Chains A and B, each alone.
Chain A
Amino acid sequence: DVKVTQSSRYLVKRTGEKVFLECVQDMDHENMFWYRQDPGLGLRLIYFSYDVKMKEKGDIPEGYSVSREKKERFSLILESASTNQTSMYLCASSFGTSGSTDTQYFGPGTRLTVL
Protein backbone atom coordinates (compact mmCIF):
# COMPACT_ATOMS: atom_id res chain seq x y z
CA ASP A 1 0.00 0.00 0.00
CA VAL A 2 1.12 3.51 -0.79
CA LYS A 3 1.65 5.58 2.29
CA VAL A 4 1.75 9.36 2.28
CA THR A 5 2.28 11.01 5.63
CA GLN A 6 2.09 14.63 6.68
CA SER A 7 3.88 16.09 9.66
CA SER A 8 0.86 17.45 11.50
CA ARG A 9 -2.93 16.91 11.43
CA TYR A 10 -3.65 20.25 13.08
CA LEU A 11 -1.52 23.38 13.26
CA VAL A 12 -2.18 26.84 14.69
CA LYS A 13 0.14 29.69 13.75
CA ARG A 14 0.16 33.45 14.06
CA THR A 15 0.10 35.98 11.23
CA GLY A 16 3.59 36.64 9.93
CA GLU A 17 5.10 33.35 11.13
CA LYS A 18 7.04 31.12 8.76
CA VAL A 19 5.30 27.78 8.46
CA PHE A 20 6.67 24.46 7.22
CA LEU A 21 4.40 21.61 6.18
CA GLU A 22 6.19 18.33 5.53
CA CYS A 23 5.08 15.43 3.38
CA VAL A 24 6.76 12.04 2.99
CA GLN A 25 5.87 9.14 0.67
CA ASP A 26 7.29 5.65 0.86
CA MET A 27 6.58 4.31 -2.65
CA ASP A 28 9.43 5.87 -4.63
CA HIS A 29 6.97 8.05 -6.53
CA GLU A 30 8.36 10.58 -8.99
CA ASN A 31 5.65 13.19 -8.57
CA MET A 32 4.48 15.03 -5.49
CA PHE A 33 1.81 17.69 -5.08
CA TRP A 34 0.52 20.23 -2.61
CA TYR A 35 -3.15 21.28 -2.63
CA ARG A 36 -5.33 23.36 -0.44
CA GLN A 37 -9.00 22.51 0.00
CA ASP A 38 -11.59 25.10 0.96
CA PRO A 39 -15.39 24.78 1.17
CA GLY A 40 -17.02 25.59 -2.16
CA LEU A 41 -13.68 25.85 -3.95
CA GLY A 42 -12.58 22.25 -4.06
CA LEU A 43 -8.98 21.12 -4.36
CA ARG A 44 -6.64 23.75 -5.77
CA LEU A 45 -3.09 22.95 -6.79
CA ILE A 46 -0.41 25.09 -5.17
CA TYR A 47 2.83 23.51 -6.41
CA PHE A 48 3.99 20.18 -7.72
CA SER A 49 7.31 18.47 -8.32
CA TYR A 50 8.18 15.81 -10.88
CA ASP A 51 11.73 15.19 -9.72
CA VAL A 52 14.16 16.03 -6.97
CA LYS A 53 14.95 19.75 -6.92
CA MET A 54 12.33 20.37 -9.63
CA LYS A 55 9.15 22.32 -9.00
CA GLU A 56 6.29 23.73 -11.00
CA LYS A 57 3.72 26.34 -10.02
CA GLY A 58 0.14 25.22 -9.81
CA ASP A 59 -2.94 27.40 -9.94
CA ILE A 60 -2.40 29.34 -6.70
CA PRO A 61 1.33 29.56 -5.86
CA GLU A 62 1.29 33.09 -4.45
CA GLY A 63 2.42 33.24 -0.85
CA TYR A 64 3.91 29.74 -0.94
CA SER A 65 7.18 28.09 -1.82
CA VAL A 66 8.29 24.45 -1.89
CA SER A 67 11.37 22.36 -1.45
CA ARG A 68 12.21 18.88 -2.68
CA GLU A 69 15.72 17.91 -1.65
CA LYS A 70 15.00 14.18 -1.48
CA LYS A 71 12.70 12.08 -3.63
CA GLU A 72 10.49 10.99 -0.77
CA ARG A 73 9.99 14.39 0.86
CA PHE A 74 8.16 17.49 -0.37
CA SER A 75 7.85 20.54 1.85
CA LEU A 76 5.42 23.43 1.58
CA ILE A 77 6.58 26.73 3.05
CA LEU A 78 4.45 29.71 3.96
CA GLU A 79 7.02 32.50 4.15
CA SER A 80 4.79 34.84 6.16
CA ALA A 81 1.49 33.26 7.11
CA SER A 82 -1.68 35.25 6.62
CA THR A 83 -5.24 34.61 7.77
CA ASN A 84 -6.38 33.83 4.21
CA GLN A 85 -4.05 30.84 4.25
CA THR A 86 -6.19 29.16 6.87
CA SER A 87 -7.17 25.97 5.09
CA MET A 88 -6.84 22.20 4.79
CA TYR A 89 -3.56 21.33 3.08
CA LEU A 90 -3.30 18.01 1.28
CA CYS A 91 -0.17 16.39 -0.06
CA ALA A 92 -0.30 13.74 -2.78
CA SER A 93 2.10 11.62 -4.80
CA SER A 94 1.93 9.65 -8.03
CA PHE A 95 4.20 7.19 -9.77
CA GLY A 96 4.55 8.46 -13.33
CA THR A 97 3.23 10.59 -16.14
CA SER A 98 1.15 8.17 -18.15
CA GLY A 99 -2.32 6.77 -17.77
CA SER A 100 -3.34 5.12 -14.56
CA THR A 101 0.09 5.74 -13.08
CA ASP A 102 -1.08 9.31 -12.69
CA THR A 103 -3.29 8.08 -9.87
CA GLN A 104 -2.57 10.36 -6.97
CA TYR A 105 -2.43 9.07 -3.41
CA PHE A 106 -3.19 11.55 -0.69
CA GLY A 107 -1.89 12.13 2.79
CA PRO A 108 -4.30 12.67 5.70
CA GLY A 109 -4.12 16.46 5.44
CA THR A 110 -3.04 19.28 7.73
CA ARG A 111 -5.68 21.67 8.97
CA LEU A 112 -3.84 24.98 9.37
CA THR A 113 -5.34 27.89 11.26
CA VAL A 114 -3.62 31.26 11.05
CA LEU A 115 -4.65 33.69 13.78
Chain B
Amino acid sequence: GQNIDQPTEMTATEGAIVQINCTYQTSGFNGLFWYQQHAGEAPTFLSYNVLDGLEEKGRFSSFLSRSKGYSYLLLKELQMKDSASYLCAVNQAGTALIFGKGTTLSVSS
Protein backbone atom coordinates (compact mmCIF):
# COMPACT_ATOMS: atom_id res chain seq x y z
CA GLY B 1 0.00 0.00 0.00
CA GLN B 2 0.95 3.62 0.12
CA ASN B 3 1.33 5.70 3.23
CA ILE B 4 2.77 9.07 4.16
CA ASP B 5 3.18 9.93 7.84
CA GLN B 6 3.83 13.29 9.43
CA PRO B 7 3.21 14.56 12.97
CA THR B 8 -0.18 16.20 13.35
CA GLU B 9 0.94 19.24 15.32
CA MET B 10 4.12 20.98 16.42
CA THR B 11 4.81 24.10 18.44
CA ALA B 12 7.87 26.33 18.53
CA THR B 13 8.93 29.82 19.51
CA GLU B 14 10.06 32.73 17.39
CA GLY B 15 13.70 32.56 16.40
CA ALA B 16 13.96 28.82 17.01
CA ILE B 17 14.65 25.98 14.59
CA VAL B 18 12.05 23.30 13.92
CA GLN B 19 12.27 20.04 11.98
CA ILE B 20 9.14 18.48 10.50
CA ASN B 21 9.57 14.82 9.61
CA CYS B 22 7.87 12.83 6.90
CA THR B 23 8.13 9.09 6.32
CA TYR B 24 6.68 7.42 3.28
CA GLN B 25 5.96 3.96 1.95
CA THR B 26 4.97 4.02 -1.70
CA SER B 27 5.12 1.54 -4.55
CA GLY B 28 7.29 3.91 -6.56
CA PHE B 29 9.23 7.13 -6.05
CA ASN B 30 9.72 9.99 -8.43
CA GLY B 31 10.32 12.89 -6.06
CA LEU B 32 9.07 14.43 -2.81
CA PHE B 33 7.50 17.84 -2.38
CA TRP B 34 6.86 20.11 0.59
CA TYR B 35 4.02 22.61 0.53
CA GLN B 36 3.01 25.34 2.98
CA GLN B 37 -0.64 26.10 3.61
CA HIS B 38 -1.85 29.01 5.71
CA ALA B 39 -5.30 28.67 7.23
CA GLY B 40 -8.03 29.26 4.65
CA GLU B 41 -5.56 29.54 1.79
CA ALA B 42 -4.24 27.30 -0.98
CA PRO B 43 -1.08 25.22 -0.56
CA THR B 44 2.04 26.85 -2.00
CA PHE B 45 5.16 25.04 -3.19
CA LEU B 46 8.20 25.12 -0.90
CA SER B 47 10.68 22.50 -2.07
CA TYR B 48 11.35 19.45 -4.22
CA ASN B 49 13.80 16.58 -3.59
CA VAL B 50 14.46 13.66 -5.89
CA LEU B 51 18.05 12.79 -4.94
CA ASP B 52 19.37 12.05 -1.46
CA GLY B 53 20.69 15.00 0.47
CA LEU B 54 19.85 18.49 1.59
CA GLU B 55 18.33 21.24 -0.50
CA GLU B 56 18.61 24.70 1.02
CA LYS B 57 16.44 27.64 0.14
CA GLY B 58 16.85 30.61 2.45
CA ARG B 59 15.46 29.84 5.92
CA PHE B 60 13.96 26.57 4.68
CA SER B 61 15.83 23.35 3.90
CA SER B 62 14.56 19.94 2.90
CA PHE B 63 16.35 16.62 3.27
CA LEU B 64 15.71 13.27 1.60
CA SER B 65 16.88 9.72 2.25
CA ARG B 66 15.35 7.40 -0.32
CA SER B 67 16.73 4.25 1.28
CA LYS B 68 14.97 5.13 4.55
CA GLY B 69 11.81 6.53 2.98
CA TYR B 70 12.36 9.68 5.00
CA SER B 71 12.37 13.40 4.52
CA TYR B 72 12.39 16.42 6.76
CA LEU B 73 11.69 20.12 6.37
CA LEU B 74 13.91 22.36 8.47
CA LEU B 75 12.76 25.87 9.28
CA LYS B 76 15.31 28.25 10.79
CA GLU B 77 14.88 31.62 12.51
CA LEU B 78 11.19 30.98 12.92
CA GLN B 79 8.82 33.88 12.43
CA MET B 80 5.19 34.23 13.43
CA LYS B 81 4.18 34.11 9.76
CA ASP B 82 5.59 30.56 9.58
CA SER B 83 2.54 29.38 11.54
CA ALA B 84 0.85 27.18 8.94
CA SER B 85 0.31 23.59 7.88
CA TYR B 86 3.17 21.86 6.10
CA LEU B 87 2.28 19.12 3.64
CA CYS B 88 4.59 16.36 2.49
CA ALA B 89 3.73 14.84 -0.90
CA VAL B 90 5.26 12.02 -2.93
CA ASN B 91 5.15 11.42 -6.66
CA GLN B 92 5.03 7.64 -7.00
CA ALA B 93 5.26 7.58 -10.75
CA GLY B 94 3.50 9.53 -13.44
CA THR B 95 1.28 12.47 -12.77
CA ALA B 96 -0.47 12.42 -9.41
CA LEU B 97 0.96 13.26 -5.99
CA ILE B 98 0.09 11.49 -2.75
CA PHE B 99 -0.22 13.92 0.14
CA GLY B 100 0.33 13.35 3.82
CA LYS B 101 -2.28 14.74 6.22
CA GLY B 102 -0.11 17.73 7.06
CA THR B 103 1.63 19.09 10.13
CA THR B 104 0.18 22.19 11.78
CA LEU B 105 2.99 24.37 13.12
CA SER B 106 2.21 27.03 15.72
CA VAL B 107 4.88 29.66 16.35
CA SER B 108 4.57 31.72 19.51
CA SER B 109 6.44 34.80 20.68
Contact = CB atoms under 8 A, between A and B. Distances in A.
Contacts of A42: 87, 99-102
Contacts of B31: 99-100, 102
B13 interface: no
Interface residues of B, number: 22
Contacts, number: 60
Contacts of A100: 31, 48, 50
Given A106-B42, A107-B42, A99 B50 contact: yes
A103 interface: yes
Interface of A: 4, 31, 33, 35, 40-45, 48, 50, 56, 58, 90, 94, 97-100, 102-109
Sorted nearest first, the 4 A-B pairs with minimum C-beta distance are A42-B101, A106-B42, A43-B99, A100-B48
